[in-house]
Amino acid sequence: MTNAATTQSAFRYSPFAKEVMANPMPFYSELRDHHPAYYIEKFDAWVFSRFEDVWQLLDNLDSFVTTDRTVVSERDVVPHRGTFKPYQTDPLGHFSTLGSPVYEEIRQAGGKPLRPVPVKKMADDIRARCRALLDELAQRDSFDLVNDFGGAIAAGSICQIYGIDISHAREIHRAVGYAMHQDPVSGGFADGFLEHRAQLNAIALDAIRRRRAADADGSVPAIDHLLNYTLEGRTLSDEELVTPIATIMIGGSETVPKIVAHGLMILAERPDIRAQIMADPDQNLPVAFEEMVRFCGPAQWFMRTVARPITIGGQKLEVGQHVFPLIQAANRDPREFDDPDSFVWNRKMERHLGFGHGQKFCIGVHLARLEGRIMLEEVLRRFAGFRVTDAVRTPSSFQWGYSKAVLHPE
């Protein structure tokens, strides 16, 4: 079940290997150049690293399912040997495992506040929260861009969308960080994962119950429309609605703060780029943030399982095999991007994979772009100069991004 490239080389790759979790980039280069379809026998899984292959893979709705989850630890990748699990509707399975048409229906029901027009209306509130928080943080000698600033802002937006008191924002961001943290040696979720995931689920469940008690009158559409959604002739229980909400709580609280922190680290080292961007921030910041998503995005892959035989990148895939489309390897593919390992703030690109692609393209893309632009602008306007130290990029098979980056005003 291997190809010539994998059998004739001493090269070894696993997303859960200690060395890969510490820094996957050298492995990605080797995979793209010499093993574009790489087989891991232990998992009966194929790894794809070239942009076009990953794009086509994620674009193909009929041949792949997510019933084994999209984000997993090593022990969860179990070979199926010619079979795959169907998604579950009674009771409803985890949101990430659902397929068509149920996934799209639930996404549509709960996604109204994340569409362009409602998101645009959040701009003034996000900016006001950024300025108020920076007023406070500017009194310090330094502050953490991820945890003191970006995480609080992003989680605050999640609170606003789900009718949760904003005082819970830091609690949500902190719980998300712990819930997604992985052991740097084993690749499994770290100690405390279940506790912090339960904490997030409890916050989501409380919000759901409060909306049901209010008769789901539409004033909090992200929850109310889910409460009024019917599946196969029945409404969903409070417990069934937890994972669609908790999934967005996690994605909405974790990714943008890491991208913004990484982007500001780059700008601290490159005042020339900063000056170019801030010469016309309204025009330039959206472009620069998009390059940050490509270059700094922390998500490494989202697993799929083959449901129908298909050929990707010249490699035939069989039913039941797992597939790891490497998002960040693809985003550094020189076949798609010129000078891909450089941050080019005004890069002209038609597409990238920083927000995913296909059926499970990031539902919060409009909010992420708005938050990213505003966070960057407010920090860059507030501090004429700054340096960033004590950056921590925690080893991880999945979220390989900065969990700490300390800004020092100058």
DSSP string covering 99-122? -TTHHHHHHHHH-GGGSHHHHHTT
The DSSP code sequence of 198-209 is HHHHHHHHHHHH
Distance, C-alpha 299 to centroid of its chain: 5
> Is residue 64 within a helix (H) or strand (E), and if so which, with residue range?
strand 64-65
Whether 61 and 98 have beta carbons less than 8 Å apart is answered as no
Length of the chain: 410
**CATH value at residue 375:** 1.10.630.10
Residue 205 burial (10 A CB sphere; 0-12, 13-18, 19+)? middle
So what's the pLDDT on residue 3? 45
So what's the pLDDT on residue 6? 43
Whether 284 and 343 have beta carbons less than 8 Å apart is answered as no
Helices 193-213 and 169-180 cross at an angle (nearest 10°) of 140
So what's the pLDDT on residue 184? 72
Q: What angle do CA 251, 255, 257 make, to 5 degrees?
A: 130
Using CA atoms, how far apart are residues 85 and 65, in angstroms rounded to an integer?
8
Helices 123-137 and 365-382 cross at an angle (nearest 10°) of 40
| Domain encompassing residue 340 | 4-409
> Is residue 128 within a helix (H) or strand (E), and if so which, with residue range?
helix 123-137
pLDDT-derived band at 188, boundaries 50, 70, 90 = low
Whether 335 and 51 have beta carbons less than 8 Å apart is answered as yes
So what's the pLDDT on residue 162? 98
Average pLDDT over residues 107-130: 98
Whether 359 and 104 have beta carbons less than 8 Å apart is answered as yes
Lowest mean pLDDT segment, chosen from 72-81, 86-95, 273-282 = 72-81
Using CA atoms, how far apart are residues 322 and 307, in angstroms rounded to an integer?
10
The residue ranking higher by pLDDT, 191 or 327, is: 327
Question: How many structural domains comprise the chain?
Answer: 1
Does the structure show a pLDDT above 50 at 32? yes
Q: Which residue from 273, 392, 402, 253 is spatially nearest to 344, judged by alpha carbons?
A: 273
Does the structure show a pLDDT above 60 at 201? yes
The β-bridge partners of 404 are: 392
Pairing type for strands 45-48 and 230-231 reads unpaired
Pairing type for strands 45-48 and 322-325 reads parallel
Q: What is the CA radius of gyration of the chain?
A: 21
Q: Which two tokens stand for residue 196?
A: 């912090």
So what's the pLDDT on residue 2? 44
Does the structure show a pLDDT above 70 at 21? yes
Using DSSP, state whether 394 is helix, strand or coil.
Answer: coil
Q: Which two tokens stand for residue 238?
A: 């409070």
So what's the pLDDT on residue 8? 45
So what's the pLDDT on residue 186? 67
pTM for the model: 0.94
Using DSSP, state whether 234 is helix, strand or coil.
Answer: strand
Lowest mean pLDDT segment, chosen from 64-78, 113-127, 206-220 = 64-78
Does the structure show a pLDDT above 80 at 54? yes
Average pLDDT over residues 182-203: 79
pLDDT-derived band at 357, boundaries 50, 70, 90 = very high
Using CA atoms, how far apart are residues 93 and 243, in angstroms rounded to an integer?
9
